[in-house]
Amino acid sequence: MIKRYERQVMKDLWSDQKKYDTFLQVELAASYAWMKKGLISMDVYEKLSKATYQISDIEKIEREVKHDVIAFTKAVALSLSDEKKWFHYALTSTDVVDTAQSLILKEASQIILEDLDQFMGVIKSLSERYKKTPCIGRTHGIHAEVTSFGLKFALWYEDLKRLKKGFIEAADEVSLIKMSGAVGTYAGSHPDIQKIAAKYLGLKESMIATQTLQRDRHAKYMLQIALIGSELEKIAVEIRHLSRTEVGEVREYFNPNQKGSSAMPHKKNPISSENITGLSRVLRGYALTAFENIPLWHERDISHSSAERIILSDGTTLIDYMLNRYQDTLKQLEVDTIQMDRNIGYTQGVVFAQGVMNHVIQNGLDRSTAYDIIQSLAMSALKTRSSFREFLLGEDQLKPYLKASELDVIFNPETYLKHVDAIYQNVFKD
């Protein structure tokens, strides 16, 4: 991952140092299991547990042997004596690689879950702050009816609850050991070795495998990451639209020394939201690649390996970056409630048309007639940029069913937020 889009915690997690440290952790788990099975003595295991390596040795050997795990085992063997014959005993390379990858993904998932919780905390706080703040709702990009600005955040919070649940499930499914040998039969080992090593490493067991863990698990994991990214994009697109000059209801924070354009000094652009939009596209691409990794040849091939070296590290790193960057953006979001009020009135009151229609129906006018009259008056108000309220009061057909005092209630934005509390109780009941 390029430096611009990574935090140090993920950079460290996906470093070569961490990878080889985790390889060694897996190798020693297998050695421990063999000690428990009685193949090697406690003394031999203790000597193996003191094994070390130098990355420079691994790199040098790999240039010769063209195999990273063999290079790793040979580099480790340089730190051992006679006990080295038991290092990597009865393991195939993928036993080490897939299990180590599971351990690293388990750590990555914990970081992402912490990010999600923090992000959801910001979303919840904003939903509470703007719970009863009226703004215009838009359908098809057109002014529809009054809603609450806080409801936008409440909706996103509910989305994130689902996505968190899905991510936890997917993370659990990639947190497992694979130590069943070259084609998954334990031919050179024993099922107890995997069982003991799984407990040692804090991983679940794979019930059956080939030489590899099956990649539908990893595809599901990457899909969940892409879904979280797409939710962030969903939020970002809304912020971008509301930031448009013609709308002007929100703005990303712009510090005094920040510049928006090299050509236009007046520009303040929603660059963080646009950044999130772009990066979410990358995550969806990674998810597609993960799906392509599912059908491997026979008991395995390595067509998935090169792709996973990129998508797993970059995917987890990107979503970590995105969640952290965008929560900071939303914390500092500038909300213009005065402009929200202006926008509610931008269409001369026609956004209250349904409220008027429902009211006159309740007072005895049939629905078809009510709809046609109110639609005609609304279109006239829009066309002439005149007061919809005045058109309503001047319409003789409506006078038996509508009073001016009743319009005061219908044209009050707060009338449309009367059930917001009930919605919030549903969303935040846990």
Strand segments, DSSP code E, in 186-313 are 204-205, 250-251
Residues 6+ apart with CB under 8 A from 137: 143, 144, 145, 146, 147
125 is catalytic: no
Q: Residue 151's closest CA among 190, 123, 186, 119?
A: 123
Q: How many CA atoms lie within 13 A of 428 on its CB side?
A: 21
The rounded distance, in Å, linking the Cα atoms of 321 and 396 is 61
| Residue whose entry in the numeric block shows the structure tokens 């989305």 | 159
Residues 6+ apart with CB under 8 A from 335: 130, 133, 149, 249, 250
Name the phi and psi angles at 208, rounded to 5.
-155, 145
H-type alpha helices, 297-351:
303-331, 337-344
The amino acid that residue 199 corresponds to is: K
Residues 6+ apart with CB under 8 A from 78: 53, 54, 57
Question: Which one of the listed residues 56, 81, 140, 368 is annotated catalytic?
Answer: 140
**In sequence order, what are the beta bridge partners of 193?**
none
Contact 359, 410 (CB under 8 A): yes
The rounded distance, in Å, linking the Cα atoms of 293 and 299 is 14
Quick count: other Cβ atoms within 10 Å of Cβ 303?
Answer: 12
Residues in the chain: 430
The amino acid that residue 374 corresponds to is: I
Strand segments, DSSP code E, in 95-141 are 134-139
The rounded distance, in Å, linking the Cα atoms of 277 and 232 is 8
Question: Which one of the listed residues 15, 41, 261, 376 is annotated catalytic?
Answer: 261
Name the phi and psi angles at 141, rounded to 5.
80, 0
261 is catalytic: yes
Active site residues: 140, 261
